[in-house]
Amino acid sequence: MLVKLKKTSLLLLILFGGGFIPVGAEIFRIDGIYLVVNNQMLTRSEAIDTSKTLKTRIEQSNLSAGEKSKRLAELKNDLLKSLVQELLLLDRADALGLEPTEKEIEGRLDQIAENQPEVFNAYGEKELQEQLIRDFKKQRVISYEIESRIRTDEEELEQYCIEESKRLRKIGLSQILFRGDADEARKKALEVKKAFEEGNDFGSLAEKYSEDPSAAKTKGKLGFFSQGELLQSINDAAFLLNPGEMSPLVNSEFGFHLLYVFDEEFPENINCKKLTLDQKNRYADIVYGQEKDLLLQDYIQDLWACARIEVKDPLESGLPSIESLPNVRDANNPCRVRMGAIRERAMEKASSQNKKQSSR
């Protein structure tokens, strides 16, 4: 069974792959080959140094404390997957002959010398050059195989705008509150649902059934709310509703709720049929990023399914063993690296766009 690779582990290397942070290199006393991916190899000390560098980059990033904790936990769980994914990209770069020029490396070294001179105290110039070459190779593969094939059109921007407006909308929310045990609440909720489906007004039902003392006066109306202003369980259920729809029974610390959206308000500065140039550019960047993430997952999935991967005994290094890797082999599908999912998706999208243009 083909297991879909998680996006998180790959993004740890992509998102924090730019720039250098001084981390003292450490030669592990039981060094040796740890990971082999096709023609790429990684030693235990290199894997440990990579883990430390990624950890430092997360800790020194501008992320919130909660997001940092989340990323650090993901790094611990997904380190080996991240290392495999990086070597897959490097191996693909070698196969495609994607090498940075001396001028590109020298230019980047000059930038580091000017903006991060302390890095030269932690790394030798040769080490920096090797790391820069690896970073260039990874980004060049992504640019060559993925970014060059992404195109966004007006229809996609409009659809994203609609989704964004939906996310930013305010909803007018009503409720019928039941107290007591769950069985009794479910029984009353079934009565309300039946009456609602028969055409009874939600406000009238709130007056009759709700155990909220204010319901007789408000007919269950709570007011207008944006995302995040309600209890999480209520928020999650309420923002799935369109005006005129009632939710299933929702449990919270205050009891059991039937929720109803009586109206919605959208941001006045967003007209999805007439986007401003600034809005188009902003939405295009977001849609481009989403498409890139999706295609990158597919691309790595294909590379992984066709790769020769070997994890040596980590011994006492504390590095993860091969058991932490997912099995992405699929006996029913042949290796598709030469014409992977990325190219199939790109071709389908290009064909769809051509049909749209020819029909106009």
Q: Counting Cβ atoms within 10 Å, is residue 242 exposed (0-12), middle (13-18) or buried (19+)?
A: exposed
Distance CA 211, CA 170 (A): 25
What DSSP character marks residue 271?
A: -
- In 189-290, DSSP assigns E strands to 221-225, 250-252, 255-265
Q: Could you tell me which of 181, 202, 189, 204 has the C-alpha nearest to residue 248?
A: 189
Q: Could you tell me which of 152, 155, 210 has the C-alpha nearest to residue 180?
A: 210
Is the pLDDT confidence value at 3 over 50? Answer: no
The amino acid that residue 15 corresponds to is L
Q: Could you tell me which of 96, 97, 98, 123 has the C-alpha nearest to residue 112?
A: 123
22: tokens are 């001084």
Is the pLDDT confidence value at 22 over 60? Answer: no
**Mean pLDDT, residues 74-99 taken together:** 91
In this prediction, residue 349 carries a pLDDT of 57
Distance CA 140, CA 148 (A): 11
Sheet holding 33-37, edge to edge: 40-43, 33-37, 309-311
Lowest mean pLDDT among 53-57, 223-227, 340-344: 340-344
Q: Counting Cβ atoms within 10 Å, is residue 70 exposed (0-12), middle (13-18) or buried (19+)?
A: middle
**Mean pLDDT, residues 244-257 taken together:** 95
Residue bearing the bigger pLDDT, 176 or 119: 176
- In the chain, the percentage of residues whose pLDDT exceeds 90 is 41
pLDDT by residue (tens digit) across 134-169?
999 999 999 998 888 888 888 899 999 988 888 899
Average model confidence (pLDDT) for the chain?
Answer: 83
In this prediction, residue 347 carries a pLDDT of 58
Domain chopping of the chain, boundaries = 7-151+279-359, 170-265
In this prediction, residue 200 carries a pLDDT of 95
Lowest mean pLDDT among 239-248, 292-301, 334-343, 348-357: 334-343
User: What is the third-level CATH fold of 170-265?
Assistant: Chitinase A; domain 3 (3.10.50)
Contact call for residues 337 and 6 (beta carbons, < 8 A): no
- Say whether 170-265 and 7-151+279-359 share the same fold: no
In this prediction, residue 318 carries a pLDDT of 85
Residue bearing the bigger pLDDT, 179 or 20: 179
**Mean pLDDT, residues 192-200 taken together:** 95
333 falls in which pLDDT band (50, 70, 90)?
Answer: low
Contact call for residues 58 and 75 (beta carbons, < 8 A): yes
**Mean pLDDT, residues 84-88 taken together:** 93
Architecture of the CATH domain 7-151+279-359: Orthogonal Bundle (1.10)
In this prediction, residue 351 carries a pLDDT of 61
